[in-house]
Amino acid sequence: MTQPFDVAGFAARLCAARAAGHPITCLPEEEPPTEAEAYAVQHAVNEALGPIGGWKVGAGPDGRPSTAPLPASGIMPSPAVAPASFSDRLIEAEIAFTLTQDLPPRGVPYNRDEVIAAIGACHAVIELVQFRVPGTISASPLLKIADHQGHGALIVGAAVPGWTEIDFPRFAVTQEIEGLPTKHGVGNPAGDMIRLIVWLANEGSLWAGGLKAGQIVTCGSWTGATPAPPGSSVSVTFQGVAPVQLRFAP
What pLDDT shows up at residue 2? 65
- C-alpha–C-alpha distance, residues 247 and 231, integer Å: 7
Residue 12 lies in a domain: no
Distances (CA, A) of 29 to 4, 34, 146, 206: 12, 12, 15, 29
Nearest to 130 by CA among 148, 155, 146: 148
For strand 66-71 and strand 52-58, is the pairing parallel, antiparallel, or unpaired?
antiparallel
Asked, for residue 176, whether it belongs to a domain, the answer is yes
The CATH number of the domain where 166 resides is what? 3.90.850.10
φ, ψ for residue 128, nearest 5 deg: -95, 115
Q: Which residues contact 153 (CB under 8 A, 6 or more apart)?
A: 74, 75, 76, 80, 82, 86, 127, 128, 130
Answer yes or no: is 158 within a domain: yes
pLDDT digits (tens, 9 = 90+) for 30-62: 899 999 999 999 999 999 999 999 999 999 777
What residue numbers bound the domain in which 122 lies?
Answer: 51-248
Q: Please report whether residue 28 resides in a domain.
A: no
Give the mean pLDDT of the chain.
95
Compare 190 and 39 and report the one with higher pLDDT: 39
Under the banding of pLDDT at 50, 70 and 90, the label for residue 29 is: confident
Give mean pLDDT, residues 86-113.
97
Is 32 a member of any domain?
no
For the chain, the 3-state helix, strand and coil shares in percent, each to the nearest 5, are: 30, 30, 40
Of 22-36, 45-59, 87-101, 156-170, the least confident:
22-36
Residue 96 lies in a domain: yes
- Residue 8 CA neighbour count, 13 Å, CB half: 0
Examine residue 37 and state whether it is found in any structural domain, yes or no.
no
Residue 133: inside a domain: yes
Q: Is the pLDDT score of 13 beyond 60? A: yes
Q: In terms of Cα–Cα distance, which of 136, 188, 153, 141 is closest to 42? A: 141
Give how many domains the chain has, as a whole number.
Answer: 1
- Is 24 a residue whose pLDDT tops 70? yes
Instruction: Look up the pTM and report it.
Output: 0.95
